Amino acid sequence: MTLRTGALSVALLLAAASTGTAGEWEPLPTELLEIEDCPEEPGCPAAVLREETFLDNSHINARVEVHRIVKIFTPEGLDAASLALPFVPRTWNIRDLAGRTIRADGTQVELRPQEAVERTVIKGNGLRRKEVIVEMPAAEVGATLEYRYRKVYRYRVSGYGWSPQGRHPVLRSTLLISSGPYAWAPVALNMRGISKSMDVDPEGRPRIVFTNVPAIYEEPFMPPEEEVTARLALISKYQNWQWGDLGKEAHAYFDKYFKRSKDARRKTREVVGEAGDPEVVVEKLYRWVQNNVDNTAYSETEEGETETDDGNDTVDDVLSTMQGSHLDLIRLFTFMARESGLDAEVALVTTRDQAFFRKNLKDLFQFNSELAAVRLDGEWRFYDPGTRYCPLGMVGWENEGLWENALITRDNGGFIVQVPSSAAAENLERRVTHLEIAADGQGKALVEEEDHGLAGTNFRNDLDHLGDDDRRGWLESRMTAREGLTVLDLEVANLAAWSDPLQLRYRVQVDKLGTTAGTRLLLPATLVPLPNPFVAAERRNDVYFPRTRRTVDEIIVAIPDGYEVESVPEDRELDSGRLVYGLRFTPSDKEIKVSRELTVDLLLVDRAKYALLRKFFEEVEEADSAQIVLRRASDDAGGVDG
């Protein structure tokens, strides 16, 4: 549908309602119109002064009525006048849009709903998302916008997710709930620092009021969006299932998936051979699945597409095509481990690239992935053949738990556990750099790097589909902290040998690495400095590192002919437990050896501790930018005077 016909259909959709609503606005209280700033965030561009949402599930078609009053304080806040109301055709629609703008001088202009345009955001591949877009008229700095609309569902909803938070601060937001037959109980998530109160309206319906809800801010190293957005999950009180019930259901499902077949059993025996030691059996199976079954999750990602269901319903399907999604590979491994006599189960997992698991939130969809769990020596261990190149005994970083994040499914229901996270030392990046510097300051270095654990996994997955040029580009993108650096060549070894460290050997050239000052040559202490990622003085979100890491560098700086060391920086040691940094210098006649290490052995840091974290990285950055001073050796020792 083109925009033009779309506009027409929206006009028809909205016309009846709009003629009935225009001019029926209640006068706004003077105290609202007089608000000129956000009390908690002074200088905000715009604010939602009042927002009232009525979630009405008492009809056969659920309805969400939204009424919003927004004030614009600065030109940047004018974006609040561009309304975009998403909808999903055949699931829910937008109805009864009406609005007005009260100008700064108090005059009023009605929104003309016939000017609303319906646009297709995306259509195809089974997806269809649309939105109604419209501009509030006469919006200007000082104007107040008031509008309302209804979302009308085609059915009654069993649960609902709602957030009072958006791109502008909200001074007061009220949610009125009529949950119909489901009797919802609200579960508040990420509401720290947001004041809320709850009562009932005269008709006995629960009403929750939120005050001073801050806008959402983007920051580096922040948790996933789901974890920084204040939200309410409305879940039926009558849900009486326990996590164990889910475990039991899932276990029954996997049993069907594991439907035994002669071929699958034969393949298992073939792979395991004569091995009897459970550790050896697990290793053999893991290695075989990783190396032999095509993991389509990755080939599809390479094509820039989303992963789709491969249509495998049993392990036999996977074995017949020797390909499957990452879940198929995990399930196949689990099946083969069981067939080999091990106590093996599929564990449902919440991946923390999307959200963090919450045991008190009875939402089945919290679990969005799987791992294989095998009990060895009475202890459950996790395996992740679905993450390509993941070493045996480790799991993809997103599967590692901050706390309990997995449900090991059993026929009796199973239990919730934490998938352990890897220690920084396991994810070691070790580099040995031989650096030569010319008298004009140009640097050339040969670097030999080894990447262990998840560092190797991540880099392998980055590299394996790239050509030579792109691999050099990838490497340069890791070293942008050094200006003027060019990767001349790169050799990659052990790319597919995921049980060994990934090995990179590369040569780089750096223009103007050294600076001359009279007879002196000044050199940076390190080839690639560690910049401080936390330069902002304030922090609004917690700090979140995807995985732990440890980097160890040894840099051997050759002293150019005719120069001698005048001074080297002082050694530095910073140790705050889980954050460790060290920089040491050992000069000799021909070279200076620089040893540097950085360990980040944490994942989630409360924003209250941000100042400490920032200080650590400031000191690292400062230490890393230290200079070595070389001086031209005296000419007195010899020479021909003529």
Partner 1 sequence: MKRRLILSLLALHLGTGIAEAARKPPKALAWAIEALEADIDVADGAPAVTLLDEARVDLIGSGGRRRFRRRTVVKVLSADGRYESLQPIYYGQNSTLATFKAWTIRPDGSIEPFAKRDAVDVSLSTAAVYSDRRQKLLYLRNVGVGSAVAVEYVLDENKFFLQDQWLFQVTYPVVLSRYTVSMPAGWTCEARVLNHDAIEPTRDGNTLTWEARDLPWRDWEPDSAPIRDQVPRLALSFLPRGSWGDAEEFRSWKDVAAWYDSLVSTQTAAGDEIRAVVAELTEGATSEHQKIERIGRFVQDLRYVSISLGLSRYQPHAANEVFFNRYADCKDKTALMMTMLREAGIESHPLLVFTRDEGKVYAEFPSPLQFNHCIIAIPVAEKTTEDALIIHPDMGEVLVFDPTDDLTPVGDLPWTDQGTRALLAHPDHGGLVDLPVLPAESNRAERNWEIDLRKDGHATVRMVATYYGQYARVLRYQYGGKDDATRDSDLTESLARAVPGAKLEKVDFQGLGEGKEPLRIEAEVEVANFARRAGPLLLAEPMRMVRTYAPDTSEEKRLRPLMVPFRFLELDRVTLALPEGYHVSEPPEGSAGDGPLGSYEVVHHAEKSRWEVERRLTVNTLEVPPSEYPAARELLSAAHAAAGAVLVLERDGS
* Residues engaged in binding partner 1 (CB under 8 A): 2-4, 7, 41-45, 74-76, 78-79, 81-82, 84, 109, 117, 119-127, 133, 135, 137-140, 302-305, 465-467, 469-470, 484, 515, 517-520, 522, 531-532, 535-538, 566-570, 618, 621-622, 625-629
Give the whole-angstrom CA distance, residue 231 versus residue 226.
9
Residue 611 C-beta: closest distance to partner 1, Å: 13
Which lies closer to partner 1 via its Cβ, residue 72 or residue 347? Answer: 72
3-state secondary structure of 489: strand
3-state secondary structure of 203: coil
Which lies closer to partner 1 via its Cβ, residue 16 or residue 611? Answer: 611
3-state secondary structure of 497: coil
Residue 638 C-beta: closest distance to partner 1, Å: 23
Which lies closer to partner 1 via its Cβ, residue 276 or residue 484? Answer: 484
Which lies closer to partner 1 via its Cβ, residue 7 or residue 349? Answer: 7
Which lies closer to partner 1 via its Cβ, residue 263 or residue 618? Answer: 618
Residue 141 C-beta: closest distance to partner 1, Å: 8
Among candidate residues 612, 456, 598, 454, the one with its CA nearest the CA of residue 543: 612
Phi, psi of 524 (to 5 degrees): -70, 155
Which lies closer to partner 1 via its Cβ, residue 4 or residue 256? Answer: 4
User: Which residues lie across from 546 on neighbouring strands?
Assistant: none
Give the whole-angstrom CA distance, residue 355 versus residue 351.
6
Residue 571 C-beta: closest distance to partner 1, Å: 13
Residue 579 C-beta: closest distance to partner 1, Å: 18
Residue 144 C-beta: closest distance to partner 1, Å: 14
Which lies closer to partner 1 via its Cβ, residue 39 or residue 181? Answer: 39
Residue 12 C-beta: closest distance to partner 1, Å: 17
Among candidate residues 636, 242, 544, the one with its CA nearest the CA of residue 414: 242
- In the numeric block, the tokens 């769990």 are attached to 373
Which lies closer to partner 1 via its Cβ, residue 109 or residue 425? Answer: 109
What's 320-383 look like in SS3?
A: HHCEECHHHHHHHHHHHHHHCCCEEEEEEECCCCCCCCCCCCCCHHHCCEEEEEEEECCEEEEE
Which lies closer to partner 1 via its Cβ, residue 35 or residue 78? Answer: 78
Which lies closer to partner 1 via its Cβ, residue 206 or residue 569? Answer: 569
Residue 500 C-beta: closest distance to partner 1, Å: 25
Q: What are 225's two structure tokens?
A: 């969006």
Q: CB of 502 within 8 A of CB of 494? A: yes
Residue 75 C-beta: closest distance to partner 1, Å: 5
Which lies closer to partner 1 via its Cβ, residue 42 or residue 106? Answer: 42
Give the whole-angstrom CA distance, residue 157 versus residue 134.
27
Give the whole-angstrom CA distance, residue 369 versus residue 417.
15
Which lies closer to partner 1 via its Cβ, residue 135 or residue 554? Answer: 135
Residue 140 C-beta: closest distance to partner 1, Å: 6
Among candidate residues 18, 10, 159, 212, the one with its CA nearest the CA of residue 97: 18
Residue 511 C-beta: closest distance to partner 1, Å: 8
Q: CB of 160 within 8 A of CB of 175? A: no
Residue 204: exposed, middle, or buried by beta-carbon count in 10 A (0-12, 13-18, 19+)?
exposed
Give the whole-angstrom CA distance, residue 624 versus residue 530.
6
Which lies closer to partner 1 via its Cβ, residue 430 or residue 444? Answer: 444
Q: CB of 552 within 8 A of CB of 450? A: no
N residues, the chain: 642
Which lies closer to partner 1 via its Cβ, residue 358 or residue 444? Answer: 444
The total of other beta-carbon atoms located within 10 Å of residue 238's CB is 10
Residue 173 C-beta: closest distance to partner 1, Å: 22
Which lies closer to partner 1 via its Cβ, residue 282 or residue 555? Answer: 555
Residue 497 C-beta: closest distance to partner 1, Å: 22
Among candidate residues 530, 479, 543, 539, the one with its CA nearest the CA of residue 509: 479
Give the whole-angstrom CA distance, residue 89 versus residue 66.
19
Starting at the edge strand found earlier in the chain, the sheet holding 160-162 runs 160-162, 231-236, 184-189
User: Which residues lie across from 170 on neighbouring strands?
Assistant: 48, 213
Give the whole-angstrom CA distance, residue 346 versus residue 257.
11
Q: Report DSSP letters for 121-159, one per residue.
A: EEEETTEEEEEEEEEPTT--TT-EEEEEEEEEESS--S-
Q: What are 172's two structure tokens?
A: 């007061």
Residue 113 C-beta: closest distance to partner 1, Å: 14
Residue 103 C-beta: closest distance to partner 1, Å: 8
Residue 494 C-beta: closest distance to partner 1, Å: 20
Nearest 5°: the CA angle 225, 228, 229 is 85
Half-sphere exposure of 368 (CA within 13 A, CB side): 12
Sign of CA dihedral 116, 119, 121, 125: positive
Say what the alpha-carbon torsion angle 492, 495, 499, 503 is, to the nearest 10 degrees: 10
Which lies closer to partner 1 via its Cβ, residue 7 or residue 62? Answer: 7
Q: Where are the beta strands (DSSP E) in 20-136?
A: 46-56, 63-72, 82-87, 92-102, 108-110, 117-124, 127-135
